[in-house]
Structure 1
Amino acid sequence: RQDLNHDFIRYVITRHEPHDGPQAQIVALLRSLFGDEVLAATVLKSTAIADAGLTKQTLYEIERGQVRRATFDRAIESLDAVNGEILDGIKRTWGRT
């Protein structure tokens, strides 16, 4: 029997509202409990992401003009940061840093 190595598993904070006090406390608790296993970047709660989901699309698939520019930019920035961390973790696991 081979022992499995799950060092690549990480937790992602989603639908995050960084200015919500109770949420900030929960995120801080999760980070204190799980440390580096929680990604530093978070997926923000966004109407842009919700609106894309209504049409069964990702934010990367919708037309930029379908939502307010600032809303789109904030949401895509948070997704890019999370996805970048995930990609970096995959590369580390593969030994391709």
Structure 2
Amino acid sequence: MNRKLAARCLAELGNLTRLGIYRLLVRAGPPGLNISEIQLRLDIPASTLAFHLRGLVGAGLVSQERIGRSVICRRTSCHRRSHPAAAASTVSILPRTNP
């Protein structure tokens, strides 16, 4: 387990606004949501949303894709991120349990 990456992910999700964004993207599923849709649903200013998305993207929890003039945000898998820090190993932030 990459402890630094796990700590970074948990730190990002420790903020209520970022947790709300992440939960919204989890519920949206694989299609994700347009940035303006996230802003509308959470009723937060564009600058605040941009700040929090930057943190989530930096931690590898959210990916963004530009399609025309739209930016689609999607939740990335906790253990299969294309984040540079996670490239060498698989990360799970949940503890293992023995049956």
Normalising to structure 1: TM-score of the pair? 0.39
Task: Return the structure number with greater relative CO, CA threshold 8 A, min gap 6.
Answer: 2
Between structures 1 and 2, the one with greater helix share: 1
Q: Choose 1 or 2 for highest CA Rg.
A: 1
Between structures 1 and 2, the one with greater strand share: 2
